[in-house]
Chains A and B, each alone.
Chain A
Amino acid sequence: MRKTHSYDRDIVALLVITLVTLSSWVGFEVYRAFTNTNIPDVSARLMRPLDPALNTALLSALKSRLP
């Protein structure tokens, strides 16, 4: 009777550990799916920010130089 008792307790412990491991695995997999997106790479040139300020003073400076 004592043997059965110990055996059943082991099964419960094993199942609990399995569940915890499985939950961790699922958690990490979800995190990986969240971070690794399947969007095709947008080229870095396209994503490069554009500064809208044009240095128009430069043109004035160039105009004053010798042609």
Chain B
Amino acid sequence: MAVDYKNSLARYRKYLQVAGKRPLFRATLFVILSLLLLIILVFFALRPTFTTIGGLVGDIRTKKEILARLDAKISNMQKMVSTYQGIQNEIYLLDEALPIGSQFSVVGNYLQSIGAENINLSDINLSSGTLPTEGLSEIGFSLSVTGSFSQIRDSLSKIENSRRLMSVTDVLISKNPSGILNANIKGTAYFVFENYEP
């Protein structure tokens, strides 16, 4: 059956003319009202609801993260407590190595004890310099040792191997006219203040 294109085209053209004359306001009234309703709904109902939901979900997520980290920390602390109980009797070693407070006398006594072994020790100077009021701090000291080379070497070794943390920063060895060696040793001893946080 042959299609009557001409007739169909004419009818379509007629339909377009009628549709074009129809007021669009009437045709799109429901669309406009729907859009207006949707806008009002989004602004007054959906926005506060979704904002609240989003905020609460965010709060829950953050709280879960904090909880997980704190749980991990508690678990680690429990492990530390059991380890600490095993070494509790040896904790004093840490206090001796890095005491709270300068404890000048301990350093002085130790340096004096070095001189008790057949070497001539003189001029022990302890200087705090400008002490900070918090954190890890240090005391500078200097001493003069007279003796043989091996005695001086032993003295340096004792300073470096003392339980109280000390380091030798400067050594100046000279020979006097009588052939005896004289060493000027400078070093640093360390301590912490109570509010120290690594």
CB of B55 within 8 A of CB of A34, answer yes
Residue B80 is within 8 A (CB to CB) of chain A in the complex:
yes
Say which size band chain A's interface belongs to. Answer: 35 or more
Cα distance, A37 to B54, chains bound together (Å)? 10
* Contact yes or no, B32 A11, CB < 8 A: yes
Which residues of the other chain, B, contact A34 by a CB distance below 8 angstroms? Answer: 54-55, 57-58
Interface string of B84-100 (1 = CB under 8 A from A): 10110010011011000
Instruction: Give the docked Cα–Cα distance between A28 and B117 (Å).
Output: 79
Per-residue B-contact encoding for A5-48, CB less than 8 Å = 1, 0 else? 10111011001101100110110011101111111001001110
Residues of B in contact (CB 8 Å), total 53
CB-contact partner of A54 in B28, B36, B39, B84, under 8 A:
B84
A9 to B, closest residue via Cβ = B24
A-B pairs, top 10 by smallest CB distance, nearest first, are A33-B55, A52-B79, A15-B35, A8-B24, A30-B54, A52-B76, A34-B58, A33-B54, A34-B54, A62-B93
Can you sample 17 A-B contacts with CB below 8 Å? A1-B23, A4-B24, A8-B24, A11-B28, A18-B35, A19-B35, A29-B51, A31-B54, A34-B55, A36-B58, A38-B59, A52-B76, A52-B77, A63-B90, A65-B161, A66-B158, A67-B96
If A8-B24, A25-B47, A36-B58 are given as contacts, then 10 extra A-B residue pairs at C-beta distance below 8 Å, sorted by A number, are A15-B39, A30-B50, A31-B54, A33-B54, A42-B66, A50-B73, A51-B76, A56-B86, A62-B94, A62-B163
The chain B residues found within 8 Å of chain A, CB to CB, are 20-21, 23-25, 27-28, 31-32, 35-36, 38-39, 42-43, 46-47, 50-55, 57-59, 61-63, 66, 69-70, 72-73, 75-77, 79-80, 83-84, 86-87, 90, 93-94, 96-97, 158, 161-163, 197
